[in-house]
Amino acid sequence: MSNIAEGLFATLFPSDCRLCGVPLVNVSRLPVCEECLAAMRPIGGEVCSVCGERLPSALAVSGDHDAARCGLCRRSEPPFARALAYGSYDGGLRELLHLLKYQGVRPAAGVLGRMLAEVIAEMAPAFAGPVVVLPVPLHSRKLRQRGFNQSELVARAALKINRADSQLVLDPGVLERQRETQSQIGLTRHQRRENIRGAFAVAKPARVAGFEILLVDDVFTTGTTVSECARVLRRAGAAKVWVATVARTLKTDATFVVHEVDRKEERLARAAFG
């Protein structure tokens, strides 16, 4: 009976998993099989207590309050209190983010939102009071092109799951991208920092001054975008800025991976938006 049901489903609703190509046998708005979703796991091992980079056990060191920090965070204090991501920006998780971001498969936001909700829940004990949740904004032209801000969709999905936490308030109009920047793809860390400088502004200062801010983005690559947002928010009087993302590039895996991801994203962006 199971085989008959699967055959009937495949006949009436022919579709393959958009990640691995295996025929789907369950009705779902998200064209991704359960096996691919189950393979998307949280980052394992010890991570930097500030930026979330994975620390090789042989290089992990303890800083203040016995919290492990990476070399970069020991040399220079980031403008955010802590950044945390659910998984590594590779494999199926990267492809799922691409389905949402470049192919407009909006049901992917629900799955990504569940991942983000886990990140927020882990950070929540450190929140001191009401927290204003801000998705990293797109420039108005890019928003018109794409039709949605993927970071806002994922943030809304996460807050639906964490709806019992009344201290989290989403307000996507607080932060705005006032200048359109060139693509960060292929740029060095210094070039990314210069490219993004001055791109963001606080549109509602009263929603920032004295409040803790939770900045949400889909991917943490080098941290230049969220760092620039955090600096702008701190200058506007934010008490503290936290950063939560679905994925992050782990530089300890291999340096060339970052460049491979950059090149693939550039191809996808060109195909999606011309």
Q: Where are the domains of the chain?
A: 1-39, 48-273
Give residue 257's pLDDT: 41
What is the fold, at CATH topology level, of the domain defined by 48-273? Rossmann fold (3.40.50)
**pLDDT tens digits along 144-193:** 999 999 999 999 999 999 776 678 999 999 999 998 876 666 777 778 77
From CA 61, how far away is CA 69, in angstroms rounded?
6
Quick one: average pLDDT of 81-104?
A: 96
Give residue 194's pLDDT: 79
Q: Which two tokens stand for residue 83?
A: 């950044």
Residue 207 and residue 174 in contact, taking contact as beta carbons nearer than 8 Å: yes
Three-state DSSP class for 180? Answer: coil
From CA 143, how far away is CA 82, in angstroms rounded?
28
What predicted TM-score, i.e. pTM, was given to this entire model? Answer: 0.84
**pLDDT tens digits along 190-222:** 787 778 888 999 999 999 999 999 999 999 998
Whether residue 9 is predicted with pLDDT greater than 70 in this model: the reply is no
